[in-house]
């Protein structure tokens, strides 16, 4: 399986970029050449140079340093938001698919209703209600993800619960919780892993979008979406302020998408069968 | 077909009710006292707070609040905007045309990019063109729409000066009107185009491997006829669903694009309402977006049933 994954150049590239991104997020703050928040008005809006490799912003802050610090925020945003969505969604999907009857009807109808909202509009509404902050942006994106995971898990559980081995375990006297957690959930994981990988990239974009609108991270946090938002006011005179954080987001999201696509090819049994 | 239509329409009713409950509850999820949060840090007396609480019917039990909100909402009364002191429905209706125009042009751009990209990629599977088009698709999905918008402004408005960087013309069918449409529509449509292109490619590849296509080839039909008359027609059925979803995505995506290009649509209205904590207006816009999205999906479901008769009998 690992061999199959690495054989694909795109997946390998995705894995390498993601790995580098995680390293940058971990060590970035300690290798950043300048303080990401401290202002230096003498050097404001400087183009890329040896002293400031990616230039400076409207307050003279080094853009490279801010991007390095921002990597940590972005990875936190992606991981926490998706963890919220995946954990709640998986539990709901597991319960709905396993218990069936009115629990299933209720949970899945609520999920259908959440699906009826354009997801970014729902994320904005939740962030607006909770108040603008990075933490609330993570919660908003997490909530928006819940129906996807609930539906995916539910559809997996529906087929797995009918298998003979589950019937055998039940006959041996295992309780429902044990069957759900130890015997059904592990067999649902393959498509969920693919979804999580793809969603981390998506959550980073949406989180940056909320910050761009002023609903996520607040100034002077070095968050990439916020950096693009403030940088767009200086597009004509200092395009580097907005473009470098944009390139950073696109690269990281691309990496997660490539990795997700690669994992889908390897983990999705239908595609594996089709490939022979 | 009539039975199918009735079934689909009836299935939408509980969803609409659910949408109304969630939208109604939004204001009740505000941490703390919603009235104090709404009125902000202005110097307000207890009297004002009580009056606003009464106006918003927040002094009634929750279920009564919901039913009275629903009763008025069904009559088109979604309350008044706090900041603009105007009926919410009037503001929503006033701004919707601009958003719809943007979403439809975004959809047009999306289809104009996605269809040729997806078809060529599938027909020339595993060729250099296929790889290039797949790279474009993957890159497109990874680009945040607001960044695409900014790059477009930078290149086409600030450097080349081909299109204006912001604003909307009241006259759509004029050169100036169309020029204001290009950048926002492209920024909005590009990322969804790459998603649709992937879908078109996947379904076309599947259809092109079907037995009836092999039969058509063995009959000596021209490749062009096989692709356009036989394969594309069937590949379009699942793509129709994606187009419906895309329109919903574009309606939601318009929020950010309108902010970048200073378009006075629903998206910008929503962002301003959020900044000013104008909750009745936020509630009205969210409800309207959800209704539009649900109705679009209903129409797509009906078209789907019309295109593929097997769906009607399931």
| Secondary structure of A113-160 as H, E, C letters | HHHCCCHHHHHHHHHHHHCCCHHHHHHHHHHHHHHHHHHHHHHHHHHH
Nearest by Cα to A203 from A276, A274, A146:
A146
Give the chain A residue nearest B17 (alpha carbons).
A113
Q: Write the CA distances from B172 to B105, B160, B178, B181, integer angstroms.
A: 11, 23, 6, 8
Contact B178, B163 (CB under 8 A): no
pLDDT of residue B41: 64
Q: How high is the pLDDT of residue B85?
A: 84
Which of A113, A225, A257 is closest, CB to CB, to B18? A113
What's the pLDDT at B314?
Answer: 55
Q: For residue B277, what are the contacts with CB-CB under 8 A and spacing of at least 6?
A: A128, B37, B38, B40, B82
Chain B segment 67-106 residues within 8 A of A by beta carbon are none
Q: Nearest-CA neighbor of A108 among B263, B14, B145?
A: B14
Angstrom distance (rounded) from CA B57 to CA B77 = 14
Report the percent of chain B where pLDDT is more than 90: 22
Q: Would the CB atoms of A228 and B146 count as touching at under 8 Å?
A: yes
d(CA B267, CA A65): 33
- CB distance from B293 to chain A under 8 Å? yes
**DSSP-derived 3-state class of residue A88:** helix
pLDDT at B137: 84
- Give B257's pLDDT tier (boundaries 50, 70, 90): very high
B309: distance to nearest CA of chain A, Å? 24
Across the interface, whether the CB atoms of A225 and B144 are under 8 A apart is answered yes
**pLDDT confidence of residue B43:** 60
In chain B, where are the structural domains located? Answer: 96-267+301-307
Distance CA A60, CA A57 (A): 5
How far does the CA of residue B229 sit from the closest CA of chain A (Å)?
26
> Helix (H) and strand (E) counts for chain A?
12, 0
HSE-up of residue B55 (Cα within 13 Å, Cβ side): 14
Q: What is the ipTM of this complex?
A: 0.86
Q: Over the stretch A255-276, which tens digit does the pLDDT of each residue have?
A: 998 888 888 878 865 544 333 3
What residues of B are in contact with residue A109 (Cβ under 8 Å)?
A: 14, 18
Q: What are A219-265's pLDDT values in tens digits?
A: 899 999 999 999 999 998 999 999 999 999 999 999 998 888 888 87
A246 within domain boundaries: yes
- What was the pLDDT predicted at B214? 86
**Confidence at residue A276, expressed as pLDDT on a 0 to 100 scale:** 30
A225:B259 CB<8 A: no
Furthest C-alpha separation in chain B: 84
Interface test with B, best of A121, A216, A231, A254 (most B CBs within 10 A): A121
Q: Which residues contact A53 (CB under 8 A, 6 or more apart)?
A: A64
- Tens-digit pLDDT profile for residues B80-115: 887 788 999 999 999 998 899 899 999 999 999 988
Is pLDDT above 50 for A161?
yes
CA distance A223 to B121: 37
Residues B125-165 have pLDDT tens digits of 888 888 888 888 888 888 998 999 999 999 999 999 999 88
Tally Cβ neighbours within 10 Å of residue B108: 13
The dihedral sign for the CA sequence B155, B161, B163, B169: positive
pLDDT of amino acid A268? 67
Q: What is the CATH number of the domain that holds A129?
A: 1.10.3720.10
What integer pLDDT is reported at residue A151 of this predicted model? 92
- Judge: B22–A257 Cβ closer than 8 Å, yes or no: no
Question: Which pLDDT belongs to residue B42?
Answer: 66
Q: What is the pLDDT of residues B176-233, one digit of tens each?
A: 778 888 999 999 999 888 888 888 888 888 888 888 888 888 888 888 888 888 888 7
User: Considering only alpha carbons, which residue of chain A is nearest residue B277?
Assistant: A128
* Whether A113 and B270 lie within 8 Å, measured CB to CB: no
Mutate to test the interface with B, among A67, A78, A122, A128 (most CBs of B within 10 A): A128
Angle between helices B279-307 and B232-260 (to 10 degrees): 170
Residue A107 lies in a domain: yes
CB atoms near residue B293 (< 10 Å): 24
> What percent of chain A is modeled with pLDDT above 70?
96
Contact A250 B293 (CB under 8 A): no
A50 inside domain: no
Other CB atoms closer than 10 Å to residue B121's CB: what's the count? 26
Torsion of CA A234, A238, A244, A247, to 10 degrees: 70
Nearest to A244 by CA among A73, A76, A43, A68: A68
Q: Which two tokens stand for residue B285?
A: 């816009």
Sign of CA dihedral A233, A234, A236, A242: negative
The residue assigned the tokens 């899945």 is A108
Mean pLDDT of A153-164: 90
* Strands in A143-271 per DSSP E: none
The minimum CA-CA distance between A157 and chain B, rounded to whole Å, is: 22
- In the block, which residue shows the tokens 């295992």? A174
For residue A5, is it within any domain? no
d(CA B236, CA B220): 24
Q: In this structure, what token pair is assigned to residue A16?
A: 């390498």
Residue A259 inside a domain? The answer is yes
Residue A145 maps to a domain: yes
| Residue from B8, B100, B146 whose CB has the most chain A CBs within 10 Å, to mutate | B146
Of A119, A201, A214, Cβ closest to residue B142: A201
Superfamily of domain covering B96-267+301-307? MetI-like (1.10.3720.10)
Peptide bond into A8 cis (omega under 30): no
Q: What is the pLDDT of residue A269?
A: 52
Work out the pLDDT band at B241, boundaries 50, 70, 90.
confident
Residues 6+ apart with CB under 8 A from B267: B99, B254, B255, B256, B257, B258, B259
B127-166 residues touching A, CB cutoff 8 A: 138-139, 141-147, 150-151, 153-154, 158
In DSSP terms, A62 is beta-bridged to: A56
Give the range of the structural domain holding residue A229, as residue numbers without chain letter.
15-26+63-267
- Output the DSSP codes for chain B: -HHHHHHHHHHHHHHHHHHHHHHHHHGGGSSS-HHHHHHTTS---HHHHHHHHHHTTTTS-HHHHHHHHHHHHHTT---B-TTT-SBHHHHHHHHHHHHHHHHHHHHHHHHHHHHHHHHHHHHTTTSHHHHHHHHHHHHHHHS-HHHHHHHHIIIIIIIS--S-SS---S-TTSHHHHHHHHHHHHHHHHHHHHHHHHHHHHHHHHHHTSHHHHHHHHTT--HHHIIIIIIHHHHHHHHHHHHHHHHHHHHHHHHHHHHHTT--SHHHHHHHHHHTT-HHHHHHHHHHHHHHHHHHHHHHHHHHHHH-HHHHT-
Mean of per-residue pLDDT scores for chain B: 85
Sign of the CA dihedral running B174, B175, B176, B179 = positive
Task: Tell me the chain A residues in contact with residue B19 when contact means C-beta distances shorter than 8 Å.
Answer: 113, 116-117
Question: How far apart are alpha carbons A8 and A266 in whole angstroms?
Answer: 10
pLDDT tens across A167-186, in order? 899 899 888 899 999 999 99
Identify the residue whose tokens are 């959020």. B274
d(CA A209, CA A205): 6
Give the tens place of pLDDT for each residue, B9-42: 888 888 899 999 998 888 777 777 777 777 776 6
Q: In the prediction, which pLDDT does A275 show? A: 34
A225 contacts in chain B (CB < 8 Å): 144, 146
Q: What percent of chain A is helix, strand and coil (3-state, nearest 5)?
A: 80, 0, 20
């Amino acid at each position: 399986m690992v061999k199959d994954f690495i054989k694909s150049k795109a997946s390998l590239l995705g894995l390498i970029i993601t790995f580098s991104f995680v390293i940058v997020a971990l060590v970035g703050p300690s290798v950043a050449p300048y303080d990401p928040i401290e202002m230096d008005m003498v050097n404001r809006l400087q183009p890329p140079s040896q002293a400031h490799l990616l230039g400076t912003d409207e307050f003279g802050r080094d853009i490279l340093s801010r991007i390095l610090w921002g990597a940590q925020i972005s990875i936190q945003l992606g991981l926490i938001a998706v963890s919220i969505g995946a954990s709640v969604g998986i539990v709901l999907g597991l319960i709905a698919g396993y218990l069936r009857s009115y629990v299933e009807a209720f949970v899945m109808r609520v999920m259908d209703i959440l699906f009826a909202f354009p997801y970014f509009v729902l994320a904005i509404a939740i962030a607006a209600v909770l108040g603008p902050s990075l933490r609330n942006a993570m919660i908003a994106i997490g909530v928006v993800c819940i129906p996807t995971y609930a539906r995916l898990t539910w559809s997996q559980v529906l087929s797995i619960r009918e298998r003979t081995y589950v019937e055998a375990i039940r006959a041996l006297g295992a309780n429902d919780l044990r069957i759900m957690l130890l015997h059904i959930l592990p067999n649902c994981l393959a498509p969920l892993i693919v979804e999580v990988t793809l969603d981390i990239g998506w959550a980073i974009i949406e989180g940056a979008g909320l910050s761009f609108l002023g609903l996520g991270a607040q100034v002077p946090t070095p968050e990439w979406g916020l950096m693009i938002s403030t940088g767009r006011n200086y597009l004509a005179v200092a395009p580097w302020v907005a473009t470098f954080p944009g390139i950073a987001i696109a690269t990281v999201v691309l990496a997660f998408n490539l990795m997700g696509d690669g994992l889908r090819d390897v983990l999705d049994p239908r595609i594996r069968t089709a490939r022979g | 077909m009539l039975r199918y239509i009735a079934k689909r329409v009836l299935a939408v009713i509980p969803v609409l009710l659910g949408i109304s409950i969630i939208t109604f509850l939004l204001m009740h999820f505000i941490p703390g006292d919603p009235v104090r949060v709404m009125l902000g840090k202005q110097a307000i007396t207890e009297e004002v707070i009580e009056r606003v609480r009464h106006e918003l019917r927040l002094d009634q039990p929750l279920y009564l609040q919901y039913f009275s909100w629903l009763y008025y909402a069904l009559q088109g009364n979604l309350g008044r905007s706090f900041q603009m002191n105007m009926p919410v429905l009037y503001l929503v209706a006033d701004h919707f045309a601009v958003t719809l125009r943007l979403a439809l042009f975004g959809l047009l751009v999306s289809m104009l990019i996605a269809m040729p990209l997806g078809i060529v990629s599938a027909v020339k599977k595993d060729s250099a063109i296929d790889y290039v088009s797949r790279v474009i698709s993957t890159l497109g999905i990874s680009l945040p729409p607001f960044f695409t918008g900014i790059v477009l402004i930078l290149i086409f408005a600030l450097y080349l000066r081909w299109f204006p960087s912001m604003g909307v013309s009241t006259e759509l069918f004029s050169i100036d009107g169309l020029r204001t449409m290009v950048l926002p529509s492209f920024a909005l449509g590009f990322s969804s185009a790459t998603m649709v292109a992937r879908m078109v490619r996947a379904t076309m590849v599947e259809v092109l491997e079907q037995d009836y296509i092999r039969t058509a080839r063995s009959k000596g039909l021209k490749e062009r006829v096989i692709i356009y008359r036989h394969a594309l027609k069937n590949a379009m059925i699942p793509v129709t669903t994606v187009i419906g979803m895309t329109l919903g995505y574009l309606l939601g995506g318009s929020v950010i694009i309108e902010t970048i290009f200073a378009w006075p649509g629903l998206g910008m209205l929503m962002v301003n309402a959020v900044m000013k904590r104008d909750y009745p207006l936020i509630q009205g816009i969210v409800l309207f977006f959800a209704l539009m999205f649900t109705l679009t999906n209903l129409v797509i479901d009906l078209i789907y049933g019309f295109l593929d008769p097997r769906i009607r009998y399931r």
